[in-house]
Amino acid sequence: MKATRAGHRAGKTESDLPVFDPDADTPPLQPAVEGNRAERDWCGLMLWAQLRALNVREGRGATPQESVEMAKAAGYRDGRGWNNWHGWHKDDQGNRWITDVGNVRYYYSAVERALPADLA
């Protein structure tokens, strides 16, 4: 069992945390890139979790338009929110893929939620 970043102080492990599915669940607060720490953490989680879900569940990368929609849903004004991040790449068709799930895990830990098993 892996201790979470935020939950470590409380002795929580990932199995103790509620699962958050970006395709089925709504964040408990509005993600905001310029918000407080919790709003920014949810912004990061939503950005990465949506992309991870699309990559894994549909077996494809996010189109440029989907990338813009994901960024806006995560609290960014537009698709340029992706420009600040590493850990993704574009394929030959210009579709976005996660290359490192570390960002996904980091933000799940930050908001004390567990990844759905199929996205872990």
- Domain positions in the chain are 7-119
Mean pLDDT of 93-102: 93
90 phi and psi angles, rounded to 5 deg: -105, 140
Query: Is the predicted pLDDT of residue 10 greater than 80, yes or no?
Result: no
Instruction: Give the global pTM.
Output: 0.85
Q: What CA–CA distance (Å, rounded) separates 85 from 74? A: 13
The percentage of residues in the chain with a pLDDT greater than 70, rounded to a whole number, is 88
Going from the C-alpha of 70 to that of each of 63, 107, 117, the distances in angstroms are 10, 16, 21
User: Per-residue confidence at 100, pLDDT binned at 50, 70, 90?
Assistant: confident
Least Cα distance to 66 among 43, 82, 44, 86 occurs for 82
34 CA to centre of own chain: 17
**Per-residue confidence at 11, pLDDT binned at 50, 70, 90?**
low
Q: Cβ(28)–Cβ(18) under 8 Å?
A: no
Whether the predicted pLDDT of 60 surpasses 60: yes
pLDDT given at position 12? 61
